[in-house]
């Protein structure tokens, strides 16, 4: 149990385009989903926290108009990188937390974004 | 915010060796997790251990919350144990995981 999927696993796009990344909890309902960013050989940095049906809470320094988060259901959250630029190239990872036995966070496999 | 420090930053082991990874944190926590990030980037949950000791096969973890540290013990290491090990905590009354810098482990055959 406690499986989280992400799609796509990798994406290459041109500068100025927008990219949407999906995060799904496959076998449990996620009360909260989190989005992280990881640069090469660095740790994970939390970008934002999203709860189903409410606005996401962004960490300091993260542009909410650039990284749009939608948490439409208890099993799906999306991150849209708008007007992507090369400096947005990174590894984006989501996690999901449920309740009861799923109080710990479970992570998706990540999405590698390359902006040309 | 809470600080999480992991040591050592890098570790090279000969296959079959044992080792201990350490995680120190600066404040009270109500959640602590250990993860293994494989070469493809997937974070694999190893332990959810806000306190006490747990064992899973060749891995075991101990968290002493009052002393603000946790340890991950790898016994009889295998090449498949290579990767980065992260400790992450949620401070008391919080809901956000803060990650340590990780320990990069390489197990040589």
Residue A13 or A98, more confident: A13
- Residue A100 has a pLDDT of 64
> Average pLDDT of A23-51?
93
How many other β-carbons are positioned within 10 Å of the β-carbon of residue A43? Answer: 18
Which one, of B92, B32, B95, B2, lies nearest residue A50 by Cα? B95
User: Residue B105: beta bridge partners?
Assistant: B11, B83
- Residue A58 has a pLDDT of 96
Q: Looking at the partner chain, which of B48, B86, B96 has a beta carbon nearest the beta carbon of A43?
A: B86
B36: three-class secondary structure by DSSP: strand
The DSSP call for residue B57 is T
Q: Is B4 exposed, middle or buried (0-12, 13-18, 19+ CB in 10 A)?
A: buried
A109 touches chain B (CB under 8 A): yes
B9 touches chain A (CB under 8 A): no
* pLDDT, tens digit (0-9, with 9 covering 90-100), for A67-109: 999 988 889 999 999 999 999 999 999 999 877 655 689 999 9
Average pLDDT, chain A: 92
Q: Tell me which chain A residues have a C-beta less than 8 angstroms from the C-beta of B101.
A: 42-43
* pLDDT, tens digit (0-9, with 9 covering 90-100), for B72-94: 999 999 999 999 999 999 988 77
- Residue A55 has a pLDDT of 87
Give the residue from chain B lying closest to A109, CA to CA: B42
- Residue A103 has a pLDDT of 65
d(CA A68, CA A56): 9
Residues of chain B with pLDDT under 50: none
Residues in chain A: 116
Check pLDDT > 70 for residue A1: no
- CB-based contact A26:A6 (threshold 8 Å): no
Q: Looking at the partner chain, which of A32, A105, A110 has a beta carbon nearest the beta carbon of B33?
A: A105
């Amino acid at each position: 149990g406690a499986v989280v999927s992400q799609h796509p696993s990798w994406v290459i796009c041109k500068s100025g385009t927008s990219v949407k990344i999906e995060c799904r909890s496959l076998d449990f309902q996620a009360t909260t989903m989190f989005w992280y960013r990881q640069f090469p050989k660095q740790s994970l940095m939390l970008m934002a926290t999203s709860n189903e049906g409410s606005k996401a809470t962004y960490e300091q320094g993260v542009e909410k108009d650039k990284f749009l988060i939608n948490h439409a259901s208890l099993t799906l959250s999306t991150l849209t990188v708008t007007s992507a630029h090369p400096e947005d190239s990174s590894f984006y990872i989501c996690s999901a937390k449920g309740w009861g036995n799923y109080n710990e966070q479970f992570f998706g496999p990540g999405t590698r974004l390359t902006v040309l | 915010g809470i600080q999480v420090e992991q040591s050592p930053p890098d570790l090279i082991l000969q296959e079959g060796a044992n080792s201990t990874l350490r995680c120190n944190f600066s404040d009270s926590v109500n959640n602590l997790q250990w993860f293994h990030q494989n070469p493809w980037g997937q974070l694999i949950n190893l332990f959810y251990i806000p306190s006490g000791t747990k064992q899973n096969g060749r891995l075991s973890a101990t968290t002493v919350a009052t002393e603000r540290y946790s340890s991950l013990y790898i016994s009889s290491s295998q090449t498949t144990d290579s990767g980065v090990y992260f400790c992450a905590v949620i401070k008391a009354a919080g809901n956000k995981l803060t990650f340590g810098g990780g320990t990069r482990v390489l197990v040589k055959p």
